[in-house]
Structure 1
Amino acid sequence: MTTTTRRTVLWTLGAGAAALGMPSILRAETKPRVVVLGGGAGGATAARYIAKDSKGALDVTLIDAAEKFTTCFFSNLYLGGYRDFESITHGYDTLESSYGIAKITAHATAIDRDAKQVVLADGSKVPYDRLVVSPGISLLYDSVPGYSEALSEDAPHAWKAGRQTQILKEKLDALEDGQKVIILPPPNPYRCPPGPYERASMMAHLMQAKGLTNSKVVILDVKEKFSKKGLFLEGWENHYPGMVEWYGPDIHGGIQHVDVAGGTVETDLDTFQGALLNIIPAQRAGEIALSAGLTDDSGYCPIDPASMRSQADPDIFVIGDASIAGDMPKSAFAANSQAKVASMTLRADLLGSKLFPAKYANTCWSLIATDDSVKVGGQYAPGDGKIASTAGFISQMHEEPEKRQANYEESLGWYKGIVSDMFG
């Protein structure tokens, strides 16, 4: 569904008048126009900061196909029973009412870079002077033999939050004692590197809480290493002994085929049977970035590390999971950080405001069990032609419970803070 705002009508009429060589009496073209594609951790943050810090000097429009945004971050806690679905779902009302941002609820189908317009599904066009592209990821379903988008209704990926998250939760809640979950994590690079393993932890937690002591979570990984591997392996042994099994490619030998209807995953080692298959395919930048020519052969978007400006087009900024952000992981924290650098640079472009050196940050928390949270993160800056790590930290093995509990409390505060930073 497309929500057409008064501003969209004025743009359309004004563009028509211009095409006829007549002045537009409906809209005085006094403010530079900024359009943001994508209303997640990157896009919503960018829209809010651009509008807030420009103090009304810029005309800001946010385009997203959803009326509300469900966070992928903290969705694993919903699976584990620590949060409800409403607590990870947020609206855009405050961005509109308090910051003057025009929210268009529509699917953007194309970017016309020559005309500097975003094309919507109904054929209408939204012009821009600067464009922020934050489309997240697209999933390469055929990267897993036998899998497809249609089959994701039965074997959910839940790597784009919303209905997929609810499907996975419903199937998880329906498990009976002795039944198994099989998780197929994606290859690098992908959204939220620790995410599949926190998910396994939350699934095991729910099984344990429901008394499904004979059930297991089996992880068939295409990677030898993953984020916080030692911490997760230690946590699974401490909290869920025998309930979580991880197999790397040197053990299973490779994923040959999945049979969603039969609930099986065939590998070189064996055929694994599961009542629930959670298949997370390989990823690349959102499709609109690809069609607009903003990606390279990696499937992601090269950017200037000092500004998040697209290397393909100086009038476009690419932030969040779709960007090639050097040493930074693909995370909500990272996207939020990148949005602020892009916002600052964009305002300097259009308004001549002061430009400060780019600085970036990231922290990823992962809940393994109640009050047992581990984290990894760092500081970043432009260097050697990329966004480079300048400092880092990670939780240590055998930490005292008080530290892990403090990590969890810190993550709750961060979630509250980033939601406020995104949506006002």
Structure 2
Amino acid sequence: MSAKITRRHFLQLSATGLGAAAIAPLAGPWTARAGERLDARIVVVGGGSGGATAAKYLKHYAPGVRVTLVEPQERYYTCYAGNWYLGGFRELESLGHGYGNLRDRHGVEIIHDRATAIDPTGKAVETRENGSLTYDRLIVAPGIEFAWDRVEGMGPEDTETIPHAWEGGRPFEILRHQLKDLEDGGTVIVCPPDEPYRCPPGPYERMALIAYYLQQEKPRSKVLGLDPKDTFSKQSLFQQGWEALYGDMIEWIPGSEGGAPERISVTDRKIFTDGGTQAHPGDVINFIPPQRAGAIAQQADLTDDSGWCPVNQKTFESDRYSDVYVIGDAAVAGAMPKSGHAANNQGKLVAATIASDLRGESLPDFPTVNTCYSLVAPDWGITVAGVYEHQEGDIVGVDGAGGLSPLDADRDQRELEAMYAPGWYESITDDIFG
């Protein structure tokens, strides 16, 4: 049984800037050894929180291996903390991270190109401009793609008009500009997706921080949440904060009460619910589509009927092909949520697993963790933390470890957790890209 990590201990680590790096062990039988040479090439597809972490830690655990990271973007913008930008108190550029440290400090070969196909039998990755890359082990961290075939009335060509802002960078800029152009007294509609999806608390933090911006700049405006679900992550904590800070500015309608979006009229800026009989006009509409594993995972036959990638939940090796590992949002990872922190931990675990496997040693089995800070306002923070271990084929939460912020905490506690949130962000992004 793994040692338990309490929520208090977890938050203390985050507050000191150690959270992301300190929780997952960095020492063990897979640690680098002086003079060791392991003749292998590891290709990593996708340079987000999972893929960049895996590439970096592979060079830490096994410096002699050749690690190639394939990522089309030269600068990666995190989706997490993007709501802070929408709230008007974080600059978008501060959420962007380059790959220079991975290349220059850690020795990862960086190829800014798009992977177009994977041949698991021939052990090769095809790229758009750099030809074929052969590998001994492959890590696929493709993130998500949107399931537009499940959306009536809207497609990817409409996201300049009705933005999703569920991928970092430009999509957030579109939504932010629309909020700035909104006339006082307007309505902003936020449509969360059905499960499973990236960042479970994200849409509800977004509703809060859009309300925060509107309260400062356009106080007669309203935020309407139209949700296919009846419950959501940190629900009581969010709703308590919404009421305390924004009164009736935020209205959330669950699926059982007619809140599930069924059709979108892009030209009229309307969301239709309740069997298509109820039209909800929005001056700004943020529709977050249903999701599945990234396109390259679909192409490579790494997904099942759910649209996600089944894996061995001890090693994250694909259930479909040997020597192929899937991490991050795309993977079916038991009780672990689809979050940046979870992807970061999975990247470390897979790096340690591959290093141990190349040496012919027993595979690691350390606990993984996740923490998620949400801001209801810049000075009102709420948190969920979890610790996970592998039991009988599944990733499960460790009883008594982690937990939620207390529901009836005083304002000092909310301010303290809000202070921790930027420290967590700086810590984890440094652990990934630093």
State TM-score, norm by structure 2. 0.88
Aligned residue in 1 for 2:163: 156
| Equivalent position to 1:84, from 91, 100, 125 | 91
Contact 1:48 1:99 in 2 (8 A): yes
> Are 2:215 and 1:208 equivalent residues in the alignment?
yes
Contact 2:369 2:388 in 1 (8 A): yes
> Separation in 2 of the partners of 1:81 and 1:141?
30
Q: Aligned to 1:420, what secondary structure does the other structure show?
A: helix
- Looking at structure 2, the residues matched to 54 and 130 of structure 1 have their Cα atoms a distance apart, in angstroms, of 13
Of 179, 192, 195, which residue of structure 2 is paired with 1:185?
192
Write the deviation string for residues 322-376 of structure 1: whole angstroms up to 9, x where unpaired.
Answer: 0001001100010001111100001112234663313110011110012111011
Deviates more, 1:395-404 or 1:188-197: 395-404
Question: Cα gap change, 1:254/1:411 in structure 2, threshold over 3 Å: closer, same or farther?
Answer: closer
C-alpha distance after superposition, 1:207-243 (max 9, x if no partner):
0111x12111100000000001111111111111111
Q: Please tell me whether residue 58 in structure 1 is matched to residue 71 in structure 2.
A: no
Aligned twin of 2:381: 373
Q: Given the alignment, which residue of 225, 232, 243 partners 1:226?
A: 232
Contact in 1 for aligned 2:179/2:284 (Cα 8 Å) = yes
Instruction: Establish whether residue 34 from structure 1 lines up as the match of residue 42 from structure 2.
Output: yes
Higher mean alpha-carbon deviation, 350-359 vs 128-137, is at: 350-359
Q: Where do 1:254-265 residues align within 5 Å?
A: 254-265=260-271
Residue segments in structure 2 that go unaligned for 5+ positions in a row: 1-36
Displacement of 1:410 in angstroms is 1.8
SS of 1:132's partner is strand
Counterpart in 2 of 1:405? 415
SS of 2:57's partner is helix
Structure 1 gaps of 5+ residues are 1-28
Distance 2:426 2:414 in 1: 19
Distance 2:44 2:223 in 1: 39
Contact 2:161/2:266 (CA < 8 Å) preserved in 1? yes
Instruction: Provide the rounded CA distance (Å) in 2 between the counterparts of 1:44 and 1:123.
Output: 19
User: Distance between the aligned counterparts of 1:36 and 1:115, measured in 2?
Assistant: 16
Query: Number of paired residues?
Result: 394
Q: Distance in 1 between matches of 2:134 and 2:415?
A: 48
CA contact (8 A) 1:341 1:359 kept: no
> Does the Cα contact within 8 Å between 1:32 and 1:129 map onto a contact in 2?
yes
Cα separation, 1, equivalents of 2:107 and 2:191: 43
User: In 1, Cα distance between the equivalents of 2:95 and 2:43?
Assistant: 25
Structure 1 residue 267, shift from structure 2 partner: 1.5
Contact 2:253 2:259 in 1 (8 A): no
Identity of aligned residues (%): 43
Provide the C-alpha distance between the structure 2 equivalents of 1:44 and 1:184, rounded to a whole number of angstroms.
30
Q: Helix, strand or coil for the counterpart of 1:83? A: coil
- Which residue in the other structure is 2:11 paired with? none
Match of 2:426 in 1: 416
Q: Which residue is equivalent to 1:266?
A: 272
Rounded to whole Å, the distance in 2 between the matches of 1:142 and 1:244 is 30
From 325, 331, 338, the equivalent of 2:346 is 338
Residue 196 of structure 1 pairs with residue 206 of structure 2: no
Q: Distance in 1 between matches of 2:86 and 2:257?
A: 28
Alpha-carbon deviations, 1:261-306, whole Å to 9, x = none? 1111111262111111101111010011111111111111111111
Aligned AA (2:46): G
Which residue of the partner structure matches residue 165 of structure 1?
A: 172
The question of whether the paired residues in 2 share the 8 Å contact of 1:260 and 1:277 is answered with no
Contact preservation (8 Å) 2:191, 2:261: no
Q: Is 1:217 equivalent to 2:227 in the alignment?
A: no
Residue of structure 2 equivalent to 1:134? 141
Amino acid in the other structure paired with 1:163? R
1:277 equivalent among 285, 291, 295: 285
In the alignment, is the contact (CA less than 8 A) between 1:39 and 1:63 conserved in 2?
Answer: yes
